[in-house]
Amino acid sequence: MSGERVDRAMLRAFLDAFNAHDLDAIMAFFADDCVFEMPRGPAPGGRRLEGRDQVREGIRSRLEGIPDVRYGDDRHWVCGDRGVSEWTIRGTARSGERIEVRGCDLFEFADGRISRKDSFWKIVD
């Protein structure tokens, strides 16, 4: 994907790869020096994953933890080297807990790939 123009279609394809649970396809969108900031973690910014190996493991863990996870009701924006995806995540955690929550990803791009993905989920009480 290097050198390709980043647009809403790319972000939609990225979400499609998540919905297909295709880890290789998901990782094809990321730069080598990528960062993924998870919605939960030990710090106010969530858990920070750096580099392709950590990002891959974090995404693998998400797909494993919510095996039927689906992202829908999505909208996407791109402006220069930044982008946003809004979505509703639905699925069932391994514990049996049903998940349905709105969230978004804030993106930074470099050379047509995702260099940073910062995820946010609404907290459901």
Residue 23 phi/psi, 5° resolution? -60, -40
The fraction of the chain above a pLDDT of 90, given in percent, is: 88
Residue 16 phi/psi, 5° resolution? -60, -40
pTM of the complete model: 0.91
d(CA 112, CA 125): 38
Q: Which of 79, 84, 115 is nearest to 2 (CA)?
A: 115
Question: Residue 2 — very low, low, confident or very high, per pLDDT cuts 50/70/90?
Answer: very low
**Does the structural domain 8-121 have CATH classification 3.10.450.50?**
yes
Residues 101/89, Cβ–Cβ less than 8 Å: yes
d(CA 57, CA 67): 15
DSSP 8-state code for residue 17: H
Over the chain, what is the mean pLDDT? 94
For residue 4, what pLDDT is reported? Answer: 66
For residue 43, what pLDDT is reported? Answer: 87
Question: Residue 96 — very low, low, confident or very high, per pLDDT cuts 50/70/90?
Answer: very high
Question: Residue 37 — very low, low, confident or very high, per pLDDT cuts 50/70/90?
Answer: very high
Task: Give the C-alpha distances (Å, rounded to integers) separating 52 from 7, 40, 70.
Answer: 22, 19, 23
The fraction of the chain above a pLDDT of 70, given in percent, is: 97
